[in-house]
Structure 1
Amino acid sequence: MGIRATLSKPLAWWMVQQQKQWMQRPVETQLQWMQRLVQQARHTAFGKEHGFEAIRSYEDFKRQVPVRDYEGLRPYVNRIIEGESDVLWRGKPIYFAKTSGTTSGVKYIPITSDSISNHINGARNALLNYIYETGNSDFLDRKLIFLSGSPVLDRKGGILTGRLSGIVNHHVPAYLRTNQMPSYETNCIEDWEEKLNRIVEETLREDMSLISGIPPWVQMYFDRIIERTGKKIKDVFPNFSLFVYGGVNFEPYRAKLFDSIGKAIDSIELFPASEGFFAYQDKIEHQGLLLLLNAGIFYEFIPAEEYFNENPRRLHIGEVEEGKNYALIVNNNAGLWGYSIGDTVRFVSTNPYRVVVSGRIKHYISAFGEHVIGEEVEKAMKAALEAFPEVKVIEFTVAPQVTPPEGLPYHEWLIAFDTPPHDPQAFAKKLDDTLRQLNIYYDDLIKGSILRPAVVTPLQADAFVHYMKSIGKLGGQNKVPRLSNDRKIADALLQWEAERL
């Protein structure tokens, strides 16, 4: 056992003891963070405008701080870009995490000297927690690969700006730098396909033990290696033992990814975002991610079905219930206040508080009032893959077909198969039947002959890669929306398919 593996074990023990302390008093920890954040920001422009000096309770906080999306925050961000200090948080941010939204265009999310530790320590603690739980630390002495965005940073209003994964790359601990892959030069390549080829060249003969990234882009990496060597990943990297991922539901990718690896290995799911590192899988065998309640973030939750109401309920951690979907609202030491990040979560446990990411608040299909959400189509796909074990899916998305050339409207599942079903009609029926069981409104529309059962449209294996490349979002931390209420993505995919024929 090498020095990194040896020293990690007492550090892992210490971290887990600290974690257990706040897990035992979750509500108190969160309300303390609310008061702490308010006190630290009371002299900022935002704090003065929203009466932070008068906030004494959560009820006060809700009265003073409205829920906002990025458009509501933009005027404050613009003031920072123009050079103003003490706007949302003390001083100025040290970074802007540059990201893109569906309605706001480019977004600049502040990261401060107080909040950067949340992003760095979240990922570190996920690995330390795994070491504590399993005793496996040998992977630290071998090569580790992080498939991420470019670490090259620009400036916006004098503030260093880049993709979150690129920013975090500058803060990888020194003791991991020597075994981190790919090289800095390769990581700086902007073109994803060129970068991927270079990563394969650099890593092919290395002793890889941990691979981290968004599943579809990791799959592309595996595919290139298999094409190059003709071998399964386990035969190329015999010591590969841990896969770390986040950003998307793993289930649709699981079968193909593990088939590519050729053996079962441990995996850890993370919940990172530009707005904060929120949760990680703390138990390999348990569903759900431990919500980090002592990391500079005060969380609020709006019941998903109330989100678009005029006065939806806002709840703190002690008021949530298991099994319900909530829009996640964050307040943090980067200066985000009442900020709706756009994700929905569902609590699978409240002792401790564990969540699953159930979808996007604005990603749904409700062309006929059915309000199908991301979690439901993910579950339908999982059920279909379990019923048809021969099937391997590369990527998929779902869209409504409101005005078909003939017949009733329907939901169209556009799926890129690696291995298609032996009986495509039965596979489509399983998807549809499961969705009907999960969503009574959708079921009623089928029963009432307003919609016909779902239609599966198979796509070329590289259809989604082409689509993401065409919109400049191939690789890195980008992901395909699982469903949408219009046909923008669907029509782009079908047009490309037609042009290839």
Structure 2
Amino acid sequence: MKAFLAKFFAKYIVSKEQKWINNPLEIQDKIFKELIASAKETKFGKDHNFSTITTYEDFKKQVPVRDYEGLKDYFDAIVAGENDILWPGKPLYLAKTSGTTSGTKYIPLTKESIPNHIHSARNALLFYINETQNSSFVNGKMIFLQGSPTLESKNGLKFGRLSGISAHFVPNYLQKNRLPSQETNIIEDWETKIDKIVEETVQADMTLISGIPPWLIMYFERLIKVSGKDNIQSIFKNFQLMVTGGVNYEPYREKINQLVGKKVDCIQTYPASEGFIAYQNSQKEDDLLLLLNNGMFYEFIPVEEFFDEEPTRISITDVEIGKDYVIILNTNAGLWGYNIGDTVRFTSKKPYKIVVSGRIKHYTSAFGEHVIGHEVEQALQKTIEKYPATINEFTVSPQVNPADGLPFHEWLVEFDTKPNNLIEFNAELDKQMRQQNSYYNDLISGNILRPLIISEVVKDGFQTYMKSIGKLGGQNKVPRLSNNREIADIFYQLNLIYSSKKI
């Protein structure tokens, strides 16, 4: 009965969502006006003369682009329990995330913004049901690999990890199907938690599994080891659907399919503490539907201009397909001109669809090449198509001062299955990188850089690295790119590279 009703509900919601999908510019203009009107009496609204803003051009003149550090005084006032700072009243929750110079960040979640997080996660599943007519997975057990739902209180506010906060809003009709237990979910130590999750789920009828790809791999490997079975398909006969987010799924696809033992449908999502930004609304394409009706007004800055003194700053109206932009948010949680640090690339404008192309803070440009995440992922994927291999994880760092020879990009790669010829694989990867990034190509051609070098990481080396910096599990992920040697140096210090001898 539950599966039967899910199809009708899916059809209704998809039809409802189609109204804003068909009118993207109008809905963004409407949200912009509502946000400004709602916040004009807040401290931020008064500080930035919201009462005089009537157009997007006015807004750009009065509200600069900033990240968490740039708005820290406002966030600190909210954490201290003050009212009407960035949004009317007080937020219902504060989502804790890992910060940089500010340490832990506290992102407000308001009564207006929380439904957008919850409904978006639900709607991603409903779009899938409506397109595939597969709803039988709702009858089985589901697991969401997430942070602890335990919340702390301070100055009258509750705070915790976004995934933990979201756990309090799982609909009643899914609660009976949901694993792991509350007792297991509140375990903080990730390795202990994974072992308990495996214990609770190894005999269950799992039909849907959700989590970020590196931790799905860790979970699957532990399951196979404990069960003694060959793959996940042998353990969960009715496993049908994965939901992932946080990182691009493509570099992990082959490895996960290998562990599962068959191809399973996958819904990719783009959730953040700052807002649920996009999800995959069709199994026919891998790009993500940009959620323009989610209480957020989006802005975009071309990646190549981001560090300029006066970069171009545009709304959805003026974006171009195939171009990389830094995404800027203005939300009904009270974020204004807020840079979350991600870059996106538009793949379609009817409807507006994107892929996440990287992190503006995670890039390699020690020689002016400005290599971004999308480029290294594409180069690796194309190389694997020619020289089959499975990759557990990888990261790229510049080697500016090698012991001998020209500088180079060092790729730290943990193979699950190595290519037959690693030297040819290495050469092909460099060739693909030269095609992805013209600046990199020019540096190689001009003998400023030598071709990239792959350094093999030992088995479970990335897990060891994450554990060493206290970020194993949850929503933590390894940066694809660095502009320095900090990550690479730790790998060498921990002896996580098979040999210091380069290819």
Counterpart of 2:282 in structure 1 is 283
Counterpart of 1:157 in structure 2 is 155
User: Residues 143, 58 of structure 1: CA spacing in aligned structure 2 closer, same or farther, 3 A cutoff?
Assistant: same
Within 5 Å, give how 1:195-206 maps onto structure 2: 195-206=193-204
Return the alpha-carbon distance in structure 2 between the equivalents of residues 269 and 455 of structure 1.
31
Residues 58-67 or 236-245, more deviating = 58-67
The runs of 5 or more residues in structure 1 that have no matched partner are: none
Return the alpha-carbon distance in structure 1 between the equivalents of residues 469 and 153 of structure 2.
23
Q: Does 1:186 align with 2:205?
A: no
Counterpart of 2:108 in structure 1 is 110
- Aligned partner of 1:450 among 448, 451, 456: 448
Return the alpha-carbon distance in structure 1 between the equivalents of residues 71 and 151 of structure 2.
23
**1:410-467 C-alpha deviation (Å, 9 max, x unpaired):** 1000011111122111111111100001111111111111111111000111111011
Contact residue 461 and residue 496 of structure 2 kept, 8 A: no
- Aligned partner of 1:97 among 77, 95, 98: 95
Counterpart of 2:312 in structure 1 is 313
Counterpart of 1:402 in structure 2 is 400
Q: Does 1:216 align with 2:233?
A: no
Q: Does 1:33 align with 2:47?
A: no
Return the alpha-carbon distance in structure 2 between the equivalents of residues 108 and 498 of structure 1.
34
Contact residue 327 and residue 344 of structure 2 kept, 8 A: yes
Return the alpha-carbon distance in structure 1 between the equivalents of residues 92 and 498 of structure 2.
46
Residue 218 of structure 1: how far off its partner (Å): 0.4
**1:203-260 C-alpha deviation (Å, 9 max, x unpaired):** 0111000000001100011101111223210111010000110111112111111011
User: Residues 466, 203 of structure 1: CA spacing in aligned structure 2 closer, same or farther, 3 A cutoff?
Assistant: same
Within 5 Å, give how 1:478-497 maps onto structure 2: 478-497=476-495
**1:174-225 C-alpha deviation (Å, 9 max, x unpaired):** 1111110111110110111110000000001110000000011000111011
Counterpart of 1:140 in structure 2 is 138
Return the alpha-carbon distance in structure 2 between the equivalents of residues 458 and 500 of structure 1.
6
Residue 103 of structure 1: how far off its partner (Å): 3.4
Counterpart of 2:82 in structure 1 is 84
Write the letter of the residue equivalent to 2:439: Y
Contact residue 411 and residue 453 of structure 1 kept, 8 A: yes
Counterpart of 1:242 in structure 2 is 241
Return the alpha-carbon distance in structure 2 between the equivalents of residues 368 and 308 of structure 1.
16
Write the letter of the residue equivalent to 2:337: G
What SS does the corresponding residue of 1:92 show, helix, strand or coil? coil
Within 5 Å, give how 1:372-411 maps onto structure 2: 372-389=371-388, 391-411=389-409
**1:239-284 C-alpha deviation (Å, 9 max, x unpaired):** 0000110111112111111011011111100000010001000111
How many pairs does the alignment contain?
498
Length-normalised TM-score, structure 1: 0.98
Counterpart of 2:232 in structure 1 is 233
Within 5 Å, give how 1:251-270 maps onto structure 2: 251-270=250-269
Return the alpha-carbon distance in structure 2 between the equivalents of residues 163 and 72 of structure 1.
22
Write the letter of the residue equivalent to 1:208: M
Contact residue 225 and residue 233 of structure 1 kept, 8 A: yes
Within 5 Å, give how 1:311-350 maps onto structure 2: 311-350=310-349
Residue 498 of structure 1: how far off its partner (Å): 6.2
What SS does the corresponding residue of 1:254 show, helix, strand or coil? helix
The runs of 5 or more residues in structure 2 that have no matched partner are: none
Counterpart of 1:5 in structure 2 is 3
Residue 155 of structure 1: how far off its partner (Å): 2.4
**1:321-358 C-alpha deviation (Å, 9 max, x unpaired):** 10000100000110001101100000000000000000
Residue 500 of structure 1: how far off its partner (Å): 9.3
Contact residue 81 and residue 158 of structure 1 kept, 8 A: no
Counterpart of 1:471 in structure 2 is 469
Write the letter of the residue equivalent to 1:269: Q
Residue 4 of structure 1: how far off its partner (Å): 2.0
Return the alpha-carbon distance in structure 1 between the equivalents of residues 281 and 405 of structure 2.
49
Return the alpha-carbon distance in structure 2 between the equivalents of residues 109 and 73 of structure 1.
11
- Aligned partner of 1:413 among 411, 414, 422: 411
Return the alpha-carbon distance in structure 2 between the equivalents of residues 477 and 498 of structure 1.
23
Return the alpha-carbon distance in structure 2 between the equivalents of residues 318 and 490 of structure 1.
41
Return the alpha-carbon distance in structure 1 between the equivalents of residues 213 and 82 of structure 2.
40
Residue 499 of structure 1: how far off its partner (Å): 9.6
Counterpart of 2:168 in structure 1 is 170
Contact residue 457 and residue 497 of structure 2 kept, 8 A: no
What SS does the corresponding residue of 1:130 show, helix, strand or coil? helix
Residue 106 of structure 1: how far off its partner (Å): 1.2
Residue 153 of structure 1: how far off its partner (Å): 1.2
User: Residues 335, 382 of structure 1: CA spacing in aligned structure 2 closer, same or farther, 3 A cutoff?
Assistant: same
Counterpart of 1:55 in structure 2 is 53
What SS does the corresponding residue of 1:124 show, helix, strand or coil? helix
User: Residues 279, 161 of structure 1: CA spacing in aligned structure 2 closer, same or farther, 3 A cutoff?
Assistant: same
Counterpart of 1:273 in structure 2 is 272
Contact residue 251 and residue 381 of structure 2 kept, 8 A: yes
**1:378-417 C-alpha deviation (Å, 9 max, x unpaired):** 111101111122x111110000011111111110000111
Residues 235-244 or 55-64, more deviating = 55-64
Write the letter of the residue equivalent to 1:475: G
Q: Does 1:121 align with 2:119?
A: yes
Residue 18 of structure 1: how far off its partner (Å): 1.3
After the TM superposition, which parts of structure 1 deviate over 4 Å for at least 4 consecutive aligned residues? 498-501
Counterpart of 1:425 in structure 2 is 423
Contact residue 11 and residue 130 of structure 2 kept, 8 A: yes
Q: Percent same amino acid among aligned pairs?
A: 58
